[in-house]
């Protein structure tokens, strides 16, 4: 029988080594999947380098956490591909004073990336279990994030208006309440389309009360589901 001190020593030796392994994987993820595809904003790249993506996936997915694809997080939902998270973050041109609303908390990873860049993040998840686990993950280290369980179609009026809105589930149309809660001069990025095959990521900009939208790229998100009663 080895002494507890032995196990403690072993842990203290292995833990930093393991963190270094993840850091190397993260570095590779940023340079090969994200910078190479054209994401340039230094604040976005820094956030992608800093946030531990492996802490936002279920235990059986940790080994895949830095791969170039979405991963299952339970309840039929996914954590988005790292490149898509970086791209959507860059497209809203995030600034340190921003208040951002996210629809579709999922694992909490996109919210954590935003929280490393902007002042306040509000995020809404419709699946209570996912909302709960994301809250647990985020509260200790990402203190400027607030999570709520609700149908994000209606936005979060209490904290509106937002400098930017990031929707990470595919909607059949752009929810009018979200446009209403966007600041004048604000940007919203949202996947729109009814099936996995026909979704387009759209950038909506609000100026002088009217909105313009621009197609960015074809994407495949899980659908934005609706709650019958709010």
Q: Which residues contact 227 (CB under 8 A, 6 or more apart)?
A: 126, 150, 151
Stretch of 38-46, 89-97, 101-109, 201-209 contacting ligand SAH, by CB under 6 A: 101-109
Q: Which residues contact 85 (CB under 8 A, 6 or more apart)?
A: 48, 109, 110, 113
Position among 24, 50, 211, 225 found at the interface with ligand SAH (CB under 6 A): 225
In whole angstroms, how close is the CB of 207 to ligand SAH at the nearest point?
26
Position among 83, 109, 122, 142 found at the interface with ligand SAH (CB under 6 A): 109
Contacts of ligand SAH in 33-62 (CB under 6 A): none
Position among 117, 169, 189, 202 found at the interface with ligand SAH (CB under 6 A): 169
User: Does residue 77 interact with ligand SAH by CB under 6 A?
Assistant: yes
Catalytic residue among 3, 31, 80, 107: 80
Position among 78, 89, 133, 135 found at the interface with ligand SAH (CB under 6 A): 78
Q: Cβ–Cβ contacts within 10 Å for residue 21, how many?
A: 11
Helices 82-91 and 42-50 pack at an angle, to 10 degrees, of 140
Position among 33, 89, 110, 199 found at the interface with ligand SAH (CB under 6 A): 110
Report the C-alpha gap between 115 and 47 in whole angstroms: 9
Size of the site for ligand SAH (CB under 6 A): 24
In whole angstroms, how close is the CB of 149 to ligand SAH at the nearest point?
8
Position among 106, 155, 186, 193 found at the interface with ligand SAH (CB under 6 A): 106
The backbone torsions φ and ψ at residue 198, rounded to the nearest 5 degrees and listed phi first, read -125, 25
Helices 4-28 and 42-50 pack at an angle, to 10 degrees, of 150
Q: List the alpha helices (DSSP H) in 106-146.
A: 109-115, 128-139
Q: Cβ–Cβ contacts within 10 Å for residue 220, how many?
A: 17
User: Does residue 82 interact with ligand SAH by CB under 6 A?
Assistant: no
From residue 146 to residue 165, what is the string marking binding to ligand SAH with x (rule CB under 6 A)? -----xxx------------
The backbone torsions φ and ψ at residue 56, rounded to the nearest 5 degrees and listed phi first, read -110, 10
Active site residue 80: yes
Report the C-alpha gap between 123 and 126 in whole angstroms: 10
| Site residues for ligand SAH per CB under 6 A | 77-80, 103-104, 106-107, 109-110, 124-127, 130, 151-153, 168-169, 222, 224-226
Give me the active site residues, please: 80
């Amino acid at each position: 029988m080895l002494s507890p001190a032995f196990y403690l020593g072993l842990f203290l030796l292995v833990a930093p080594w393991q963190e270094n392994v993840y850091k190397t994987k993260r570095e590779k993820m940023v340079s090969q999947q994200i910078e190479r595809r054209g994401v340039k904003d230094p604040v976005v790249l820094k956030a992608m380098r800093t946030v531990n993506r492996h802490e936002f996936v279920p235990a059986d997915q940790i080994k895949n956490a830095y791969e170039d694809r979405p991963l299952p997080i339970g309840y039929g939902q996914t954590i988005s591909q790292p490149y898509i998270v970086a791209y959507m973050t860059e497209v809203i041109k995030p600034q340190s004073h921003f208040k951002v609303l996210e629809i579709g908390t999922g694992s909490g990873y996109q919210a954590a990336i935003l929280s490393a860049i902007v002042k306040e993040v509000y995020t809404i998840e419709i699946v209570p279990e996912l909302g709960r686990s994301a809250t647990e993950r985020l509260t200790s280290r990402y203190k400027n994030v607030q999570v709520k369980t609700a149908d994000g179609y209606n936005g979060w009026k209490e904290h509106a208006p937002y400098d930017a809105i990031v929707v990470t589930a595919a909607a059949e149309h752009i929810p009018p309440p979200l446009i209403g809660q966007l600041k004048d001069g604000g940007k919203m990025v949202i996947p729109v389309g009814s099936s996995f095959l026909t979704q387009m990521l759209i950038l909506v900009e609000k100026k002088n009360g009217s909105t313009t939208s621009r197609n960015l790229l074809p994407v495949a998100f899980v659908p934005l589901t609706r709650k019958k009663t709010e």
